[in-house]
């Protein structure tokens, strides 16, 4: 049974302008899913809907087989959540924040919390406002995982951290996966972090799921074709091909992304459009993101 | 042995790991019976998902290059890989086809490609030679 299921989620902030326009996917136990998309694509909205902080206007979320609207407390006690703009009270001391979380979560594991405090070298008596941004995020992470959540929701967890703090955050996540095999849904703009942590990516674009695939599949079964302008009459010729996910009209050529290995994309272009010897290559996640989500310019 | 991975590559990370271990075995830097870094330690070392390391090790094991002994660890397998010759040739044929179409796409002719293969063979032989003269100590 999936740990989480998003069914046809719709959400608009302005009437008639859906940020999420029918998003559906589910997460199996043990999966680490990287949620990617441009700013404003609705990643945060989706994670907040999962957390019960926002409601979907249409569609439903199912967590652990439960509807969070019916069983909000039970569901939250089985979740962990960290976000970039999460605010821990600046005047509270680290130990008081930990005490608070311990009292909220029946499954709190003191050994996990202790180990993390030691590893992070966080001073217990310090007030949040006197910690660095990276340390404050570590406190948030500690509070989010010490009750051993069945699902961890991370919204841009390394956002705003310097490269060293980001790497440390990543290492902690890897250790966590080693120790508990957690299920994680995390959003990130750092494609290198996504590559290191995720085994599957879900890309949201124009309100719905554009790509949902294993990360390795993405690199093995997708390709970028550079089609010279003079060989086809318009981008629509390319967009009309099956397995073509997007086309950008660039100065050098049409950049077309195919859900095919390079060799197959090349034969498709030759077979259907009669375009021969197109340069087709495998493509890394970051370029894929830019090709699919980037503007036409 | 020291592995390193590159993000932002079009080669999946698990394939980067497989390639480095396979090359090390072919080049004699890893010998039968040598112990590999545990999956968990390698995940922490390389800062990548343990699932990715598991996938690489599983594939290598399927190819007969390494074997895992419960509770003891993972080792370089002794002798020839467990895959039969027919299947191996079939795999090589598949790889050759890919290599050829890749070369075709990049505008590299067959004679140039064959020359490239011979160069690579010479490099591997030199590596094997070097590691025979001064065997590397375990550095993991």
Q: Each residue of A169-202: pLDDT tens digit?
A: 888 888 888 887 789 999 999 999 999 999 999 9
CATH superfamily of A4-215: P-loop containing nucleotide triphosphate hydrolases (3.40.50.300)
Closest chain A residue to B98, measured at CA = A263
Residue A16 has pLDDT above 90, yes or no: no
Interatomic CA distance for residues A54 and A42, integer angstroms: 12
Q: B110-133 and B85-105 are packed helices; what angle lies between their axes, rounded to 10 degrees?
A: 120
Residue B140 has pLDDT above 60, yes or no: no
- How long a stretch of residues is chain B? 140
Closest chain A residue to B11, measured at CA = A219
Cβ distance A197 to B49 less than 8 Å, yes or no, reads yes
The rounded mean pLDDT for chain B is 85
pLDDT category, B139, cuts 50, 70, 90?
very low
Q: Hey, where are the domains in chain B?
A: 13-133
Cβ distance A191 to B7 less than 8 Å, yes or no, reads yes
pLDDT at A293: 85
Q: A110-120 and A94-104 are packed helices; what angle lies between their axes, rounded to 10 degrees?
A: 160
Over residues B24-40, mean pLDDT: 88
Cβ distance A174 to B44 less than 8 Å, yes or no, reads yes
Residue A151 has pLDDT above 90, yes or no: yes
Distances (CA, A) of A86 to A9, A141, A175: 24, 11, 23
The rounded mean pLDDT for chain A is 90
Element (H, E) at A205: strand A200-205
A95 Cβ neighbours under 8 A, 6+ residues apart: A124, A125
Interatomic CA distance for residues A147 and A111, integer angstroms: 10
B49 closest CB neighbour out of A167, A196, A282: A196
Cβ distance B51 to A262 less than 8 Å, yes or no, reads no
Chain B residues lying within 8 Å of A177, measured CB to CB: 43, 49-51
Cβ distance B11 to A219 less than 8 Å, yes or no, reads yes
pLDDT category, B128, cuts 50, 70, 90?
confident
Residue A296 has pLDDT above 60, yes or no: no
What does the angle CA A250 – CA A213 – CA A13 come to, to the nearest 5 degrees?
75
B9 closest CB neighbour out of A167, A215, A284: A284
pLDDT at A69: 85
A196 closest CB neighbour out of B11, B14, B47: B47
Chain A residues lying within 8 Å of B98, measured CB to CB: 263
Cβ distance B50 to A177 less than 8 Å, yes or no, reads yes
| Closest approach of A281 to chain B, Cα-based (Å) | 9
pLDDT at B81: 55
- Tokens 């065997």, located at residue: B135
A216 closest CB neighbour out of B14, B98, B101: B14
Please tell me the pTM assigned to this model: 0.81
Highest-scoring range by mean pLDDT, A82-91, A184-193, B6-15 = A184-193
Q: Is the minimum CB–CB distance between A28 and chain B shorter than 8 Å?
A: no
Residue B135 has pLDDT above 60, yes or no: no
Provide the 8-state DSSP code for A166.
Answer: H
The interface predicted TM-score of the complex, written ipTM, equals 0.80
Q: How far is C-alpha A280 from the geometric centre of its chain's CA atoms? A: 28
CA end-to-end distance (rounded Å), chain B: 6
Interatomic CA distance for residues A112 and A115, integer angstroms: 5
Q: Is the minimum CB–CB distance between A55 and chain B shorter than 8 Å?
A: no
| Closest approach of A144 to chain B, Cα-based (Å) | 20
| Closest approach of A198 to chain B, Cα-based (Å) | 7
Q: Are the CB atoms for A13 and A56 separated by under 8 Å?
A: no
Q: How far is C-alpha A50 from the geometric centre of its chain's CA atoms? A: 13
Quick one: A186 exposed, middle or buried, by C-beta within 10 A (0-12, 13-18, 19+)? buried
Topology of the domain covering B13-133: Arc Repressor Mutant, subunit A (1.10.10)
Check the CA dihedral A123-A197-A285-B8 and report its sign.
positive
Over residues A130-142, mean pLDDT: 90
Q: Write out pLDDT tens, residues A245-290.
A: 999 999 889 999 999 999 999 999 999 989 888 889 998 888 888 8
A231-269: string of b/e by CB count within 10 Å (b at 16+)?
Answer: bbeebebbeebeebbbbbeeeebbbbbbbbbbbbbbebb
Closest chain B residue to A170, measured at CA = B47
Q: Hey, where are the domains in chain A?
A: 4-215, 222-293
pLDDT at A297: 43
Interatomic CA distance for residues B130 and B119, integer angstroms: 17
Residue B138 has pLDDT above 70, yes or no: no
pLDDT at A276: 86
Q: Which class does domain A222-293 fall in?
A: alpha beta
């Amino acid at each position: 049974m999936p740990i989480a299921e998003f069914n046809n989620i719709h959400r608009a902030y302005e009437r008639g302008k859906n940020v999420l326009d029918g998003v559906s996917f589910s997460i199996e136990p043990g999966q680490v899913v990287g949620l990617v998309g441009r700013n404003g694509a609705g990643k945060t909205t989706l994670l907040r809907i999962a957390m019960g902080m926002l409601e979907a206007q249409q569609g439903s979320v199912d967590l652990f087989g439960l509807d969070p609207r019916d069983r909000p407390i039970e569901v939250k006690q089985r979740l962990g959540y960290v976000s970039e703009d999460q605010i821990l009270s600046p005047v509270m001391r680290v130990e008081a924040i930990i005490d608070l979380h311990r009292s909220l979560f029946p499954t709190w594991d003191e050994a996990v919390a202790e180990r993390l405090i030691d590893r992070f070298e966080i001073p217990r008596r310090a007030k949040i406002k006197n910690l660095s941004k990276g340390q404050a995020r570590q406190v948030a992470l500690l509070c989010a995982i010490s009750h051993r959540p069945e699902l961890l929701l991370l919204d841009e967890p390394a956002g705003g951290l310097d490269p060293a703090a980001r790497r440390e955050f990543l290492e902690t996540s890897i250790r966590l996966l080693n120790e508990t095999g957690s299920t994680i849904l995390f959003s990130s703009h750092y494609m290198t972090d996504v590559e290191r942590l995720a085994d599957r990516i879900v890309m949201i674009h124009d309100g719905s799921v554009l790509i949902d695939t294993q990360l390795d599949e993405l690199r093995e079964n997708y390709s970028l074709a550079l089609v010279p302008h003079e060989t086809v009459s318009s981008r629509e010729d390319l967009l009309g091909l099956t397995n073509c996910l997007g086309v950008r009209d660039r100065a050098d050529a049409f950049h077309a992304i195919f859900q095919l290995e390079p060799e197959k994309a090349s034969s498709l272009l030759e077979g259907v459009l009669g375009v021969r010897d197109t340069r087709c290559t495998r493509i890394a996640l970051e370029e894929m993101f830019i090709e699919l989500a980037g503007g036409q310019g | 042995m020291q592995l390193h991975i590159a993000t932002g590559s079009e080669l999946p990370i698990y394939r980067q790991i497989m390639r480095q271990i396979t090359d090390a075995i072919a080049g004699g830097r890893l010998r039968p019976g040598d112990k590999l870094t545990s999956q968990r330690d390698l995940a922490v070392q390389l800062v990548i998902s343990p699932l990715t390391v598991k996938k690489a090790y599983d594939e290598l094991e399927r190819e007969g290059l390494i074997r895992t002994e419960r509770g003891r660890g993972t080792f370089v397998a002794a002798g020839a890989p467990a895959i039969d010759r027919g299947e191996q040739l079939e795999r090589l044929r598949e790889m050759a086809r890919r290599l050829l179409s890749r070369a075709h796409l990049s505008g590299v002719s067959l004679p140039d490609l064959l020359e490239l293969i011979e160069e690579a063979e010479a490099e591997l032989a030199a590596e094997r030679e070097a590691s025979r003269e001064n065997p590397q100590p375990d550095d993991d």
